[in-house]
Amino acid sequence: MKVDSTITEAQQLAEKIIQNVEKVIVGKREAVQLAVIALISQGHLLIEDAPGVGKTMLARSLAKSINCSFKRIQFTPDMLPGDITGVSIYNQKTSDFEFRPGPIVAQVVLADEINRATPKVQSALLEAMEERQITVDGVTHKMPSPFHVLATQNPIEYEGTFPLPEAQLDRFMLRINIGYPAPSEEIDIVERQQYVHPIEQIDHVVDASDVLMLQETVKKIYVDDLVKQYIVSLVEATRHHPSIFLGSSPRGSLALFRTAQARALLQGRDFILPDDVKALVEPALAHRTLLSSTGQPQGRDSRAPIAEILETVPVPGALPGR
Q: How would you label 28-50 residue by residue, b for 16+ Cβ within 10 Å and e otherwise?
A: beebbbbbbbbbbbbbbbbbbbe
For residue 160, what pLDDT band results from cuts at 50, 70 and 90? low
Q: Which of 108, 100, 147 lies closest to 127 in space, CA to CA? A: 147
Report pLDDT for 322: 43
Count other Cβ atoms within 10 Å, centred on residue 250. 9
Q: What does the alpha-carbon distance between residue 124 and residue 242 come to, in Å, rounded to a whole number?
A: 34
- The 10s digit of each residue's pLDDT in 216-246 is 999 999 999 999 999 999 999 999 888 888 8
CA 262 – CA 239 distance, rounded (Å): 26
Residue 113 sits at the vertex; the CA angle it makes with 246 and 296, to the nearest 5 degrees, is: 30
Q: DSSP readout, 179-212?
A: -PPPHHHHHHHHHHTTTS-GGGT---SS-HHHHH
- Region 99-121: mean pLDDT is 88
In this prediction, residue 159 carries a pLDDT of 65
Amino acid 237 reads A
- Report the candidate in 172, 229, 233, 145 with the shortest Cα–Cα distance to residue 38: 172
Shortest CA distance to 37 belongs to which of 238, 172, 226?
A: 172
Nearest residue to 85 via CA among 73, 70, 69, 76: 73
Mean pLDDT of the chain: 87
Q: Alpha helix locations (H) across 107-224?
A: 119-122, 126-131, 166-170, 183-192, 208-218
- Span of 62-76, 112-126, 250-264 with lowest mean pLDDT: 112-126
**Residue 294 or 125, more confident:** 125
User: Taking a C-beta distance cutoff of 8 angstroms, is the pair 250, 257 a contact?
Assistant: no
Is the predicted pLDDT of residue 321 greater than 50, yes or no? Answer: no
Could you tell me which residue, 58 or 91, shows the higher pLDDT?
A: 58
Cβ–Cβ contacts within 10 Å for residue 112, how many? 19
Mean pLDDT confidence for 13-18: 95
Q: Decide which of 295 and 60 is more confident.
A: 60
Q: What's the confidence (pLDDT) of residue 14?
A: 94
pTM above 0.85, yes or no: yes
Q: What is residue 214's predicted lDDT score, i.e. its pLDDT?
A: 95
The pLDDT of residue 320 is above 50? no
More confident residue, 214 or 124: 214
pLDDT of residue 299: 47
Q: Which domains does the chain have, with CATH numbers?
A: 1-220 (3.40.50.300), 221-322 (1.10.8.80)
Q: Which amino acid is at 155?
A: P
Q: What is the mean pLDDT of residues 149-160?
A: 77
| pLDDT tens digits, 263-317 | 999 999 999 999 999 999 999 998 888 887 665 554 446 788 888 889 999 988 7
